[in-house]
Amino acid sequence: MSGQLFLVSLGVGDPENLTLRARDVLLKADVLLGSETDRDQFPAIFQERPIHEAGHGLFTPMFRRHATEDEARAFEARVRELVRRSVREGKTVAVLGYGDPTLYGPRVGYLHEFHDLQPVVIPGISAFNAANAALACAVTQGGGTQSVVLAPAKNANTQYDGRDTLAEIGKGQPTLALFTMKMQLPQVVEQLRRNYPDETPVALVCHAGRQETQTVIRSTVGGLLDLSATQRLPFECMMYVGEFLRADHGAPSGMWR
């Protein structure tokens, strides 16, 4: 008898954003891999069941940048033995992820490491989905383009040497949906200005999916640095750049939180 391995998204924002399918899998799971902070968000689901540490970036080069080689090997060996033994014994194993777990997800390495176990991904509401809803307008209806490009804003950082810098992907002036983790805003603005006029609208969606703290801040490419000069950008933030924002007059605006 063999079990099943799942990569389950907890979604983003409020606990109510958890999908019914994810809830069902989590309730029946025999083995959970995530973090203890996950229990705080969903106490009714996890209750007192043990949650094994899943690591951040495990089975990817990302993890090895934050651990010594010996630490990485030992951690991965423990998790590898737990997952394979549990599935072999017929148990249901759930690895906890967030948002779209395959989009910059810290647990996506499990899919490669255990591909022979045919893991099943349970999708969830991502920051992109939740931020689109907060903007409440058609993201694909830009002035001269219908394309939407998802990218990490850190691709504008001076040390980044990939082919997909913001300056490169912005040449056709598509709508940009940027994940802002580890970004350097001056470099982002400098690269955006190579393709987008200063008056191009920008929206910053903070804490997308969290009803009490979700905020939309309006600016322009040319005004971003002035707006952020005395304010702190929260970690949970999506940045949108594009003409589609000109058609939006109803979404709420606010101050930095």
Handedness of CA 57, 62, 66, 69 (dihedral sign): positive
Query: pLDDT tens across 173-230, in order?
Result: 999 999 999 999 999 999 999 999 999 999 999 999 999 999 999 999 999 998 877 6
Give the domains, in start order, of the chain with CATH numbers.
4-122 (3.40.1010.10), 127-247 (3.30.950.10)
| pTM, 2 dp | 0.90
pLDDT of residue 143: 79
Averaged pLDDT for residues 51-78: 90
Q: How far apart are CA 194 and CA 187, in angstroms?
A: 11
Query: pLDDT tens across 71-83, in order?
Result: 999 999 999 999 9
Q: How far apart are CA 177 and CA 66, in angstroms?
A: 28
Residue-level length of the chain: 257
Nearest CA to 209 out of 36, 18, 7, 9 is that of 18
Angle at 78 between CA 116 and CA 60, to 5 degrees: 60
For residue 24 the two structure tokens come to 């069902």
Token pair 């040449």 is at which residue?
Answer: 171
The answer to whether 86 touches 37, Cβ cutoff 8 Å, is no
DSSP-derived secondary structure letter, 219: E
What lies within 8 Å, CB to CB, of 191 at 6+ separation is 156, 165, 166, 167, 170
